[in-house]
Homo-oligomer: A and B are copies of this chain.
C-alpha cells in the first residue's frame, strides 16, 4: 500500500467479496430477487461481480449510472423519478439489450417517460412508488397509487410492473425497528390487496435497503430488494447493527501532515475526502474512526484537513504516519473519488475507476 498517494479510497477485497456473497446467500435462502443499488460503488467491475453472484439486475439513481452499468447488465431499474426531458430521454435511449424499469410517483413523470419511450421506440416498465413512512418520494395514499398504475397502463409503451418503496426510516434502533417493520409490513400487505382488488396486481414488490437488508423477508409481499451500502458497509451500517465493524471494506487512507498544535494530529482527509456526514440513526461522534486506533475519531474537518481527537488514546502519531479512516457514509466517499485501490491482506492488488461518478453532463455553448 506504500505506493498509494493519500488521501485515497482503499477497499479490502476479502471483506467486499464476503459482503457480496453473504447478501447473495440471503437472497437465495429467502427466494428474493437481489437488485443491488450501484450508487454506492458506481463501478461496472463491481456490478459485474454482483451479477455473477446471482443479482437479477441493478438499481441506479442517475442516467449516467445506468449508461455506465449497461455495459455489464441487461436489466436496469432507475429508482428515481424520470422527470425532466433530458433525464427521461437519456434513460429511454439506453442500449437496446437493456430491459428498463423506472420508478415514479406523478402523472408528470408518466407523461415525460411515455413521451421519451415513444421517441425512442422502447417499451419501459414502471414501478409506482409508495411512501411507506420515509416521507421523501412516493404517493402516501394507496388509491393515488392505483390511479397512477392505471395511467401507466393506458400508455402504449409503458407497462405497470410493480410497486416500489424505500424503508429508509426503519433504521433508528432495534426496538423501534421491530415495531416499524411490523407497521410497514401490515401497510404494504393492505396496499397489495387494494391494488389486486382494483385489477392492477403488482407483479414485483421492490423495497429494502442496507439497514433492513437481513430482515427483508419479514416484510410481507416483497419480491425484490435494492441494498447499496452492503458492498462496502460503513460506520453507520455497523452502528445501527446491520453489520459488524470488521465488515467495513472501504477506508480512506490518509497521512498525518501536522502535529504542531498540541493534543491533536491533522490528516490529509477532510470534507473533500470524507464528506461531512454524521453517523445516522445511532450514536457515533465525529466524521470517521481510525481502523488501527478505533478510539480515535475525526473530530472536525476543513476541506483538506481532518483533525484527530487524541484525548482518549495513548497513540502518539508522527508527521508522515499513515492511517485508515472508516467513513460514516461510504456512498459519499466513493462519489468524491475517481479511483479505488483494491488491497488484500494489506497488499495492493488492483485499482479501478469510479466510472459512474459525476453526471456525464455535456459541455454547452
Contacts and interface: CB of A to CB of B under 8 A. Distances in A.
Contacts of A341: 364-365
Given A260-B140, A338-B359, A364-B3, A303 B86 contact: no
A131 interface: yes
Given A262-B140, A361-B8, A365-B348, A80 B3 contact: no
A364 B108 contact: no
Interface string A117-138: 0000000000001010001111
A139 B335 CA distance: 34
A170 to B, nearest CB: 15
- What's the number of copies of this chain in the assembled complex? 2
Contact of A361 (B129, B277, B338, B362): B338
A164 interface: no
A351 B365 contact: yes
A61 interface: yes
Interface in A342-361: 342, 348-351, 353, 358-359, 361
Interface stretch (A187-195, A198-206, A240-248, A268-276): A268-276
A318 interface: yes
B61 A303 contact: yes
A318 B108 contact: yes
A266 interface: yes
A5 B335 contact: no
Grouping DSSP codes into helix (H, G, I), strand (E, B) and loop, the A interface class, with mixed when no group exceeds half, is loop
A144 B112 CA distance: 65
A319 interface: yes
Nearest to A300: B136
A137 to B, nearest CB: 4
A66 to B, nearest CB: 13
Contacts of A61: 303-304
A96 interface: no
B266 A275 contact: no
Q: 10 smallest A-B Cβ distances: which pairs?
A: A108-B319, A5-B86, A105-B260, A137-B258, A81-B257, A83-B257, A338-B358, A106-B319, A84-B255, A139-B260
